[in-house]
Amino acid sequence: MAFAHSFDPTSLREYDIRGIVGKTLHAADAFAIGRTFGSIVAGKDGKTVAVGYDGRLSSPELEAALVEGLKASGMEVLRVGRGPTPMLYYAATTLETDGCIMVTGSHNPPNYNGFKMMLGRKPFFGAQIQHLGKMSAAGEVVAESAGSDRAVDVSHDYVARLISDWDGGDRILNVVWDNGNSSAGEILQRLVGSLPGEHTVLNAEIDGNFPAHHPDPTVAKNLEQLIAAVKEKGADIGIAFDGDADRIGVVDNKGQILWGDQLLVVLGRDVLKSHPGATIIADVKASQVLFDEIDRAGGTPLMWKTGHSLIKAKMAETGSPLAGEMSGHVFFADKWYGFDDALYAAVRVLGIVARMDGPFSDVKDSLPVAVSTPELRFDCEDTRKFKVIEEVAARLEASGAQVAAIDGVRVKTEDGWWLLRASNTQAVLVARCEAFSEEGLDRLKAALVEQLAASGLEAPDFSGENSGH
C-alpha cells in the first residue's frame, strides 16, 4: 500500500517536531516520522535506530507508533524505554546507532509532545526536518520491509558513566534536587544513591501531569519549591530539571538562582584549568558578564546562535570543550560526548562546589551585578519577523552602531546591550536588555522601542520587567 502523510505545518519546528496531542500531533504522525526517518537512515546505508520516551501520558502510544514506522522501513529498533533524553543520546553514542529519536514534550505543558532526533552523531534539525515533512507528504519512502525491535537497558551503564566523572573528593554536600516529576525519575534516584553526601529529592515520581509545577527550570516561579527546601534544610546547592532532563536549573545555598550564563561561568572557569585558552560558547542571549569572565579566566569566549542543535554543531566545528545557553542546556565535550545532559552537568557542578573553600554563594556574590529585562516575547507574523530584523540591522548599520548580527541584532553601547531576534520556533520576536544601572537600562529600552516603532511595531510592556542578574 502506498504511503503518504502530511503533518500539521506548525509541528515542524527548527529543532524538533512538536505539537498538541490530539490537535496538531497524533499517533499517525509518529508512525509517519518513523517511516520517513527510517527511509532517510536506510538511504545512508544505515540500519539501527535507538528510541526512547519521556514520562508524558501520551508518550507510550506515540513511541509504539514510531517504532512501527521505523520497522516498516526495515530498521532494527533499539528500545531504550522511559527515561531522560540524554540517556537516549548516551545509548545512541555508545551503541553507535545510525540514528535516534526521543519522544518528548521537553519543558512544554502536559498536553504537548514531540520528537527530538539525531542522524548518526549529529543533530537532525532545520532544513532536515522540513525535508522530512516534504518526503512524508510525497510518499518518498523506501519499500516496506519487516524490521525488528528489541529492548535495550543502558540505564546502569549510563549511571555508572555519570558517576565516573565525579571529582569532588570526600566533602559531604547537602543537596536538594527537584526532579519536577520529570523523566529522570529512577535514573536520578540511582544517581543520588551513588553520590557521596546528603540528598533530598523533591517530586521524584515521574508524572506526566506535572502536579507540582511546570517543568521549566528557567522560570523563577518554578524554582520556588526548590529554593524553600534549600533554605529549610541548610543545603549547599539545589538542582532542578526540565521535563526530559536535558536542561538544568541551579540555586545556591542562599537560594539565589544561577541563570544559565552564570552557571556557565562556574563550569567554564573549572574546564579552563585543564583546557587553557579553550573556546567556551554561549548563545546571544547570555550576559556580557559571562563573556568577560571567560576572557578573564583565560578562555576564548564565543557568542553564537540560540538553539541546542546550532550550538552542538558549532562545538564540533571549533573543538570547544564546553558550551551553554540561557535556556539551561549545558554541553560538555570535556570528558563527555558533546550532547546536552542536565544530569551530567549536575555531577560536574557538584564536584566544583565540593572542592570550594567557601560557600557556593560566593560565586554569585562576586560577579558584577547587572540589571536586565527578562526574555520578552511578542507576536510578529512568521512572514514579517525576519524582515523586521533586516530593517533594524540596516538602520543600525547606517548609524554606525556596534552590532553583532550572529542571530538577530545584539547592540552594544556604553550602558550595556540590547538584543532583538526572531524566534526559530514561534511567530514572535524576542528582546532582552542588560545594563549596569537602572538609568542605563532605561536608555537601552528606549533605543529598542525606537527601532521597533520605526518598523511599525508596538513595543512590549517593559514596566516592572527589570531584575538583577
Rounded CA separation 155/185 (Å): 12
Rounded CA separation 175/162 (Å): 17
Element (H, E) at 281: strand 279-283
Query: What φ, ψ does residue 49 adopt, rounded to 5°?
Result: -135, 125
Contact 230, 240 (CB under 8 A): no
Length of the chain measured in residues? 469
Contact 7, 136 (CB under 8 A): yes
Q: Which amino acid is at 102?
A: M
- Give catalytic residues, as residue numbers: 106
Among positive and negative, which fits the CA dihedral 48, 54, 56, 57?
A: positive
Rounded CA separation 183/244 (Å): 5
- Using N-to-C axis directions, what is the helix angle for 185-194 and 155-164, rounded to 10°? 40
Residue whose cell numbers read 523533591: 202
CB-facing half-sphere around the CA of 228: CA atoms within 13 A: 7
Residue whose cell numbers read 532536515: 128
Contact 181, 215 (CB under 8 A): yes
Contact 237, 251 (CB under 8 A): yes
Query: What φ, ψ does residue 247 adopt, rounded to 5°?
Result: -125, 140
- Using N-to-C axis directions, what is the helix angle for 342-355 and 85-94, rounded to 10°? 100
DSSP string, 422-438: E-SSSSEEEEEEEESSH
Contact 84, 245 (CB under 8 A): yes
